Structure 1
């Protein structure tokens, strides 16, 4: 019966990097049923960060980037011998479980994330994450825009208005009404990064009777990401 497993031998190319993109399934409905605070619910994002940290501990990626209900994980050490089915199923289920455990609340129905594999060349990594960061900015502008409009109009009318506006129009509308997106937390505008950094540790070498400097790596959660540049990713490798 093994021959029925038609995709079981599909594998990631050897010595390649991949991005795993995870998305929450029906999280718009989830946010409504859980009555999440608009436009950003800090508890939700704290849970997303904890899920990212669990992913980092389990799969040792180079970089994780998250915004909204989306997680992007850049890997150069490919698990499960590169098997597509195994990577997608395990990482999606792992993320769903981590999110559920950290949220510590009763959900209206089980939470799920989907997963997709994106093989990527080094030269395209910056372009990919810049694309996702641009989407985070669009989400931020639209999120604040619709939140403001719904405070003035019915949901249907607010949606009708915002669909006819550009990002610049929404930005200007908010500014005219006392909401300056320049003052919004950076992570809301640019997303959240998780990656390894080194910290300096000063100890004492008893044998040589002198201070000794060493460096230890730790998982760093970056709530103040810069606007992505090629230099940012060059420093990660």
Structure 2
């Protein structure tokens, strides 16, 4: 019979041997990770396939990582989200996005979200995780998802989470400031178009709720008065071929809803920015290949509901793209 190994003694002897021979350990004190090749086996060649499947993002390019809810129409229906916009759910998305920005500080200085999506812009000077696409994408999506679940009860206090939400992600490189700014403008224009359509649609179906704040500073949702509901199909037919002015007229003249009074958060989405003057906004490379150890409470992030299509914002906040 083979004699049972004393792993503790064996580990100590191997570490002592490596110290004498000046053999570098590969990120661990475990003898299973010796970089001298002692742990190599005939099966280790498959590691090459891993390396070939983990692309490195180009240096000096902005990286947009967009996190998007999977089947969120079904998810929002199962959890009775108010239509057309449930501020509680949108604020939860902002909370999750803020967690991502703090976790990857200072490599992400700007993020934009609307509906069930959020885009995070990795600075072109960042070398976080050696710019490995799989690493960045998987960690940002998982951090966002776990934060969304963790903070659920903070925003939807009376709503039981029936099943775990899922988010997918995509990673796209943009070579210059022009392209990354145009990307964010594109997402905000998409927000405007979709929100205008959805608000009109839910007025027609009678599901529209206005979002207001009561005397206790609590968000409340007020249903339509005397709705004249159409079926989903009939509402779609009614909206077919309409332009913006037609939708405004349908809401105001037929249902008493003034779209101009809707919250800017609903119409423009949420822009998160690392505040100017932070000690790392001008030098992302301080983070090198690792995440910052700065206390998240000390990281100042602002949430804005403003127009990013106009060039004035980018002229006044050029530090965000440095």
What TM-score, normalized by structure 2, do the two folds share?
A: 0.64
d(CA) in 2 for partners of 1:71, 1:158: 29
Q: 1:73 to 1:103 in 2, by over 3 A?
A: same
Aligned counterpart in structure 1 of residue 70 of structure 2, from 2, 14, 25: 25
Aligned counterpart in structure 1 of residue 196 of structure 2, from 138, 141, 146: 141
Structure 2: state its 5+ residue gaps: 1-45, 154-158, 207-228, 278-297
Aligned counterpart in structure 2 of residue 114 of structure 1, from 156, 160, 168: 168
1:3 Cα deviation (Å)? 3.2
Secondary structure of the residue that 2:67 maps to in structure 1?
Answer: strand
- Aligned 8 A contact 1:66 1:191 in 2: yes
- Aligned 8 A contact 1:96 1:113 in 2: yes
- Aligned 8 A contact 1:7 1:85 in 2: no
Secondary structure of the residue that 1:13 maps to in structure 2?
Answer: coil
| Offset from partner CA, 1:16-52 (integer Å, 9 cap, x none) | 2111111011101001000001111111011111011
Residue matched to 1:45: 90
1:78 Cα deviation (Å)? 4.5
d(CA) in 2 for partners of 1:7, 1:106: 43
Aligned counterpart in structure 1 of residue 274 of structure 2, from 196, 213, 216: 196
d(CA) in 1 for partners of 2:181, 2:140: 23
d(CA) in 1 for partners of 2:93, 2:54: 32
Q: 1:93 to 1:130 in 2, by over 3 A?
A: same
d(CA) in 1 for partners of 2:120, 2:142: 15
- Aligned 8 A contact 2:268 2:306 in 1: yes
- Aligned 8 A contact 1:64 1:73 in 2: yes
1:101 matched to 2:150: yes
| Offset from partner CA, 1:179-224 (integer Å, 9 cap, x none) | 111111111111111112248xxxxxxxxxxxxxxxx9721111x3
* Bigger fraction of residues in strand: 1
Structure 1: state its 5+ residue gaps: 200-215
1:71 matched to 2:149: no
1:167 Cα deviation (Å)? 3.2
Q: Which has the larger radius of gyration?
A: 2
Q: 1:227 to 1:174 in 2, by over 3 A?
A: farther
Deviating more after overlay: 41-50 vs 79-88: 79-88
Secondary structure of the residue that 2:151 maps to in structure 1?
Answer: helix
RMSD: 2.1
1:6 Cα deviation (Å)? 6.4
Residue matched to 1:155: 232
d(CA) in 1 for partners of 2:52, 2:150: 31
Count of residues in Structure 1 that have an aligned counterpart in Structure 2: 221
1:153 Cα deviation (Å)? 0.8
| Offset from partner CA, 1:72-124 (integer Å, 9 cap, x none) | 11111253211111112111111111111111354333211111111112121
Residue matched to 1:92: 141
What TM-score, normalized by structure 1, do the two folds share?
A: 0.85
Q: 1:191 to 1:46 in 2, by over 3 A?
A: same
Residue matched to 1:13: 58
Aligned counterpart in structure 2 of residue 228 of structure 1, from 288, 309, 318: 309
d(CA) in 2 for partners of 1:89, 1:197: 26
- Aligned 8 A contact 1:51 1:99 in 2: yes
- Aligned 8 A contact 1:20 1:72 in 2: yes
1:139 Cα deviation (Å)? 1.6
1:54 matched to 2:99: yes
